[in-house]
């Protein structure tokens, strides 16, 4: 009986323990599910935040694209403004030359008038002595000396010889007045041109300021390194596609030109005076953003407006703006070889034009450049980029 009671007691204790353990497990499972739900909510919030960031990045890139297009527009306006200023300078030079001629004419006329003034006085004195007219009444009735010598009575009594001398003198005086008025008009015209030039120059400075401000805003963008990489790769791809199209359009391959190009390897003249390399060919670490970028050419530091020359003879295949490279020139040297010159400030050649080695094709600049004033040089064999430093003279 005692054993039976002990058995039931033991069974009851085990049952209680099992029940308590089961409750503990249920609480553990409940806490786990609660934690899992909390984690799912946190994950959901993180994903929502990621989507928000992606949307923000898209908006940032759209804004950057618009800003880049705006920069291109500003640089074109600067280019136009500079040409207009050149026209103003030419107009001023022409007017200054006209003024110089008038001043010389005025000088000669003054010399003639000074020389003839005494002659005219002597004629008048002789006429007065002869008593042929009342000089005093003529003088008192005249408004000025020109009016005096134009008096009808005066011309009637003078001899034809004296009259001719007086007429020449009068004509010289009138010509002097006319030249002085003409010179005054020219000077006023020059002042107006200078005023317009000043307005144009102020506009130029304002546009330059807008450009720098826009560049500062772009470079301060926290997503810039991603954009730089994407744009460089996209622009390079576009350039490769563009050259491929040029290659497809070509109907002949100049084998002799290819051999000549290879013979000059390591001897090509540098396109600019500077040999200061900002970034070399191949992979390099971007100095501003610290990202690794594949460079298909080289960036050479230059003074703004420095002459850029062709490294080898060839035919210009492209000479215009190109996204990511600013003002750009592409020269085909035959045999599938091309040289590319980017970020120019001025282009001196046109599409289809033949150029010689060392012939000027433009001027260095900073159009669409992240380095400032520079020259981007690229050499390609069809669509394959080659290291320019292996072709340029050591």
CA 260 to chain centre: 36
Domain end marker among 159, 187, 219: 219
Say which CATH number the domain at 147 has.
1.10.287
Q: Is residue 39 part of a domain?
A: no
247/174 same-domain check: no
CA 264 to chain centre: 34
Determine the Cα–Cα distance for residues 328 and 236; give it in Å rounded to an integer. 13
Residues sharing a CB contact under 8 Å with residue 365, sequence separation 6 or more, in sequence order: 304, 305, 326, 327, 343, 344, 345, 346, 373
Q: Is residue 61 part of a domain?
A: no
174/234 same-domain check: no
Residue that has been written with the tokens 């007691």 in this structure:
9
Determine the Cα–Cα distance for residues 211 and 326; give it in Å rounded to an integer. 14
Q: Is 335 helix (H, G, I), strand (E, B) or coil?
A: coil
337/269 same-domain check: yes
Q: Is residue 36 part of a domain?
A: no
pLDDT in tens, the chain (394 residues): 555 555 455 455 445 544 544 443 344 444 444 544 554 555 555 555 555 655 656 666 666 667 667 667 767 777 776 777 777 777 677 767 776 777 777 777 777 767 766 666 666 666 666 554 454 455 445 555 556 555 544 544 455 556 566 666 667 667 777 777 777 787 787 778 778 777 876 776 676 677 667 667 765 665 555 655 555 566 656 666 655 555 555 444 456 667 778 888 888 999 999 999 988 898 877 655 666 778 889 999 999 999 999 999 899 999 999 888 899 999 998 888 899 999 999 999 999 999 999 999 999 998 888 888 999 999 998 888 999 999 999 8
Q: How many domains does the chain have?
A: 2
Domain end marker among 202, 219, 236: 219
122/212 same-domain check: yes
Residues 310, 358: contact at Cβ < 8 Å?
Answer: yes
163/286 same-domain check: no
248/379 same-domain check: yes
Domain end marker among 197, 219, 241: 219
Q: Is residue 187 part of a domain?
A: yes
231/168 same-domain check: no
Q: Is residue 210 part of a domain?
A: yes
106/147 same-domain check: yes
239/201 same-domain check: no
Domain extent at residue 359: 227-390
202/340 same-domain check: no
pTM exceeds cut of 0.75: no
């Amino acid at each position: 009986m005692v054993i039976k009671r002990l058995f039931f007691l033991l069974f009851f204790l085990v049952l209680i323990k099992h029940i308590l353990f089961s409750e503990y497990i249920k609480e553990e499972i409940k806490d786990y599910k609660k934690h899992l739900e909390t984690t799912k909510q946190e994950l959901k919030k993180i994903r929502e935040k990621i989507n928000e960031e992606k949307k923000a990045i898209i908006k940032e890139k759209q804004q950057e694209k618009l800003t880049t297009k705006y920069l291109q527009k500003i640089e074109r306006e600067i280019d136009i403004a500079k040409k207009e200023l050149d026209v103003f300078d030419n107009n001023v030079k022409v007017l200054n030359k006209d003024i110089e001629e008038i001043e010389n004419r005025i000088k000669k006329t003054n010399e003639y008038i000074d020389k003839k003034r005494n002659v005219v006085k002597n004629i008048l004195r002789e006429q007065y002595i002869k008593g042929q007219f009342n000089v005093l009444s003529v003088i008192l009735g005249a408004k000025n000396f020109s009016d005096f010598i134009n008096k009808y009575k005066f011309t009637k009594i003078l001899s034809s010889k004296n009259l001719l001398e007086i007429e020449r003198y009068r004509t010289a005086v009138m010509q002097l007045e006319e030249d002085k008025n003409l010179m005054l008009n020219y000077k006023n015209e020059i002042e107006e041109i200078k005023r317009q030039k000043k307005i144009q120059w102020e506009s130029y400075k304002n546009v330059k300021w807008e450009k720098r401000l826009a560049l500062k805003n772009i470079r301060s963008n926290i997503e810039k390194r991603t954009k730089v990489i994407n744009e460089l790769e996209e622009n390079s791809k576009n350039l490769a596609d563009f050259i491929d199209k040029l290659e497809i359009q070509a109907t002949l391959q100049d084998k002799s030109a290819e051999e000549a190009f290879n013979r000059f390897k390591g001897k090509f003249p540098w396109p600019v005076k500077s040999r200061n390399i900002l970034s070399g060919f191949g992979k390099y670490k971007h100095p501003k953003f610290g990202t690794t970028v594949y460079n298909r050419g080289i960036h050479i530091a230059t003074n703004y407006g420095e002459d850029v020359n062709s490294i080898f003879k060839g035919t210009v295949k492209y000479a215009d703006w190109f996204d990511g490279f600013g003002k750009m020139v592409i020269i085909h040297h035959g045999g599938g070889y091309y040289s590319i010159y980017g970020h120019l400030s001025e282009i001196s050649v046109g599409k289809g034009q033949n150029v010689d080695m060392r012939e000027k094709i433009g001027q260095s600049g900073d159009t669409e450049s992240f380095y400032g004033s520079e020259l981007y040089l690229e050499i390609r064999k069809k669509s394959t980029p080659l290291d320019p430093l292996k072709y340029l003279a050591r």
